[in-house]
Structure 1
């Protein structure tokens, strides 16, 4: 795992360290899927404050950490904001079609259940 060199840098796994089981675990939680769906639908990075999750701040922080440590998202500080971006290129290179399949399944499930989150 790439280690942080300062308190403002966050550790991320290198592409070759990303493991399928960690990615699937990260994507198995509804709150984390909500974050990933939002990032996939947007252009570029979004700050943590852009996500309205029905959980406490500490739980939200936990979800972002799981996504980052699994290699699903990249996080970086920009001023006082923590910005989040989907690591689509890395995931597509390692697991071709996985992210698109999971996002499509999540979209279909949300439509079936009437859940726009």
Structure 2
């Protein structure tokens, strides 16, 4: 059975981003429903998979990373409104038996992601 996991890397400070709020939503018929939320641990990761086994279903999901609040707690001064505040990644799960790892590499001004396993 597959699983969904995530982690956040702070490339401004060159380390994992701890205590970032991450919300997971399932998207069906244009409507979002919240599945779970976590705060990243000291390694910038979730302590356990966001979804695994029978709870991982084929479909469209969104991860919302609250990185603006993270950088504010780190004392990073940026103009308001923040350029990068909440990063919303909409992605698809095509095969629920595979592992999907959705990392976020972020600064207050840019971000990127990729599909890991």
TM-score using structure 1 length: 0.24
TM (norm. structure 2) is 0.24
- Normalized per residue, the structure richer in strand is 2
Give 1 or 2: higher helix fraction: 1
Higher relative contact order (CA 8 A, sep 6+): 2
